[in-house]
Amino acid sequence: MYGFLILIILLGFPALEIFVLVRLAELAGWWLGAWLLAAALAGWALIRGESAAIPARLFRGLQSGHPPSLAMLFSLRYLLAGLLLIFPGVISDALALALLLLPRPPARREAGTAPADGRVIEGEWRREDER
């Protein structure tokens, strides 16, 4: 049952994209081709930029104590949006823009950190060597 549903979705999505492209081409003309080319170039640039940023994002996530899966999830989201932009179609472009506009969840604070509300405890310290 699930296999048939997946097959219908995989065959129906490109058919729907073609239908929408034909209808929009009647209305917009060659501007639609310019949009598709610009979206494909933006998707390519997004994929190239994100593939270069994955190691830095992983390192930053590990340094801050977050699990690496969270950093990979954000990278996967941007890579999927880039692939959807490369795929020719207006519906896939809308899905890619929705992925790009999803908000990031708030960063977790560590257990012992105080909120940054402007209160500062001033003091002096010095290191004493143990002997």
Poorest-confidence range of 14-23, 54-63, 102-111, 120-129? 102-111
pTM > 0.75: yes or no: no
- State percent of the chain over pLDDT 70: 89
pLDDT given for residue 22 in this prediction? 92
- In SS3 terms, the chain reads as CHHHHHHHHHHHHHHHHHHHHHHHHHHHCHHHHHHHHHHHHHHHHHHHHHHHHHHHHHHHHHHCCCCHHHHHHHHHHHHHHHHHHHCCCHHHHHHHHHHHHCCCCCCCCCCCCCCCCCCCCCCCCCCCCCC
Instruction: Using the predicted structure, report yes or no on whether residue 34 has a pLDDT greater than 80.
Output: yes
Average pLDDT over residues 73-102: 92
